[in-house]
Structure 1
Amino acid sequence: MLPHLALGFITGSVMSFAFVVAPGAESMPGQSRAVVELFTSQGCSQCPPADALLTSLAERGDVVALAYHVDYWDYIGWEDTFAHKGFSDRQRAYAKSWGSSRIYTPQMVVNGSEGVVGSRREEVQDALASAQLPLAVSLTRQGDMLKVEVPADEMLDDAQIWLVRYLDRADVAIAAGENAGKNMVYTKVVTDKQILGMWEARTGAEIKLPLAGLTNSEPGNNGLAVLVQNERNGLPGPILGAATYRF
């Protein structure tokens, strides 16, 4: 069965966030070997198997799983309760960075480098088998602050540091559209994505964030991920490192 397809590109914007950066962070061991970003929609009949697969991947200790709900299928009968134009823009930017004009759901992007059909378990597993993140990102609570440490590595190019907040779990009764009548369980549902600052390969980075500013009123919004990702000509490149934190 073919995935849902959509075409076109829109340039998105990012929000700023208060941060403190200091060079020379100490290198610390990390376990994450892959970031899996699922582009999905509640209005896509072929997405539930991929949503379920992401849930199982999230249970692995070496995978950072994130679900971005896109908005370009909202017109076909059901408006996704988590959809955001910025998430659709991110998927389009990935496609453009690979020289493609094709986007679809469900799609899983592994480490910002490879896109596969998110419902094809074997393709996803093959992509994960060779995945590796070169940087170990450390997240440590220090009182009312969250300390982010990313070691230096002069073999890599400078990159951006992103904060991604998510709902750990969400239960949705879909009343219309292609999945009408289904009661869906979604995990790692991204609610917002903000840039924290730059990671410099020569010095590394240390960022301290007030925990009070990391939560919001969303019920169950109890998790965040920090991603270190290259950017090329304004488009997302490979993800170099990642870590998650639960409140």
Structure 2
Amino acid sequence: MKKFVFTLMIALQGALFLPAAQAMDMKTNPKAVLELFTSQGCSSCPPADAALREWSEQDDLITIAYHVDYWNYIGWEDVFSAPKYSKLQRAYAKSFGSERVYTPQLIVNGEKDAVGSRRGDVQKLVAAADLHVGVDLKLQDGNLTIDLTSDGATQVDATIWVIPFISTAQTKISRGENRGKTLAYSHIARGRMPVGMWHGEESHQMELPLQDILTDQADGMAVLVQTKGAGGPGRILGAASIQK
């Protein structure tokens, strides 16, 4: 895994954030992006959450956990949930030609899905996956620079997304289906921001201020280059991530 050392000072949620000379873990050549739709109120989700934590340690995989809100009514409100993640999952379902959503659903490269706790099924999807657009990230002077590279042979309409995340967290569940458990999570999405478009050029660069990205306790981010599907998200073409 590549390391990137940087020094910066930015204002973050009203306080000074100073990761002075701190090593960052960066992934710039993954073969797959694993997006897990999960909930603290779902008794079937902890095994999938545990699997995602393990996959997050692999250099060739980028993982993101979206906590949906439609389980909140049964006694425990997921502390990381938001309606926008449920909406994203429904948009994926529409792209797949379905109206069905479930947890734990894991989507590989925006194209195919499996039950997130069925590791063998997920590994089969990962084995067949690839990402052909290069995404490189650089941090300097409080800014994030995103560089995209490809062979320029294909014209596409793809959105560049930045997903800030909390790299690790634990929650003690006192009610609902998982009551009494202390559960661990990884790469918890704290937003999903479209920051630009890419149309297949051989090279493309953009720069963003970190103080607009690292919000809501986020200590890392993923960058996805993703096409549009039939009414929702489509295939992911390239990705990278960086975290403390």
| TM-score of the two chains, using structure 1 as the length reference | 0.84
Please give the secondary structure, in 1, of the residue aligned with 2:87.
helix
1: CA distance, partners of 2:142 / 2:187:
24
* Residue correspondence of structure 1 range 201-212 to structure 2 within 5 A: 201-202=200-201, 204-212=203-211
2: CA distance, partners of 1:33 / 1:44:
29
2: CA distance, partners of 1:142 / 1:78:
41
The amino acid of 1:155's aligned partner reads T
Q: Deviations over 1:134-191 (max 9, x none)?
A: 1110001223221100114332522000010000111100000000000001110001
- Residues 1:123 and 1:156: Cα distance change in structure 2 (over 3 Å): farther
Contact 1:35 1:110 in 2 (8 A): yes
Contact 2:43 2:178 in 1 (8 A): yes
Q: Residue 109 of structure 2 is aligned with which of 108, 111, 128?
A: 111
2: CA distance, partners of 1:88 / 1:217:
19
Please give the secondary structure, in 1, of the residue aligned with 2:123.
helix
The amino acid of 1:207's aligned partner reads M
RMSD across aligned positions (CA):
1.5
2: CA distance, partners of 1:212 / 1:73:
32
2: CA distance, partners of 1:139 / 1:48:
32
Equivalent position of 2:159 in the other structure: 160
The amino acid of 2:172's aligned partner reads A
1: CA distance, partners of 2:35 / 2:229:
19
* Consecutive unaligned residues in structure 1, runs of 5 or more: 1-28
The amino acid of 2:51's aligned partner reads L
Equivalent position of 2:15 in the other structure: none
Equivalent position of 1:131 in the other structure: 129
* Consecutive unaligned residues in structure 2, runs of 5 or more: 1-26
2: CA distance, partners of 1:233 / 1:108:
19
2: CA distance, partners of 1:31 / 1:109:
19
Q: Deviation of residue 203 (structure 1)?
A: 5.1
Equivalent position of 1:150 in the other structure: 148
Contact 2:95 2:231 in 1 (8 A): no
| TM-score of the two chains, using structure 2 as the length reference | 0.85
Equivalent position of 1:189 in the other structure: 188
1: CA distance, partners of 2:143 / 2:134:
20
Q: Residue 61 of structure 1 is aligned with which of 59, 62, 65?
A: 59
2:233 equivalent to 1:236: yes
The amino acid of 1:245's aligned partner reads I
The amino acid of 2:93's aligned partner reads A
Q: Deviation of residue 214 (structure 1)?
A: 2.3
Equivalent position of 2:139 in the other structure: 141
Runs of 4+ in 1 over 3 A off after TM superposition: none
